[in-house]
Structure 1
Amino acid sequence: MSTEWSAGALVVDTDTGKTGRVMGSVGPYVQLRQPGGGREGTPTRAASVRPTKPKS
């Protein structure tokens, strides 16, 4: 399943459990950055990215 992620979306990488903001995507990968800013991380498989759950 292919999902297009919008830049700025807050997501969770289910492979690592880390939360990040989508900075862009290329092919089967998305580029994430820590929610508070900083350097972009390594490319993450789009298939392992899920939206964060809203606070109740």
Structure 2
Amino acid sequence: MSAPEYMIDGRDGRIGEVMGRVGGYVQLRPLGGGREWDCPPDALSPAPPGEVLRARVRELNRQARLP
């Protein structure tokens, strides 16, 4: 099993885990789970490990604040 691949959607700065490629688009899923979104490959750039970690911590903090 290969390690997850994380990318930044350059259109809005979201970081997502690459889930697949369909119809010329890359499908990304938010780090905390949720609905996937499609992104054109030319709008993607690799997410540095530090950015992935920050996004994960933000998501964990957000979830901790939910009732």
Question: Which 4+ runs in 1 deviate beyond 3 A?
Answer: none
TM-score by length of 2: 0.61
Identity %: 45
Number of matched pairs: 49
Whose helix proportion is higher, 1 or 2?
2
Instruction: Provide structure 1 residue ranges, at least 5 long, that are not aligned to the other structure.
Output: 1-5
TM-score by length of 1: 0.71
Deviations 1:24-54 (A, max 9, x none): 002421001001111212x110111111123
Whose strand proportion is higher, 1 or 2?
1
Relative contact order, higher structure (CA 8 A, sep 6+): 1
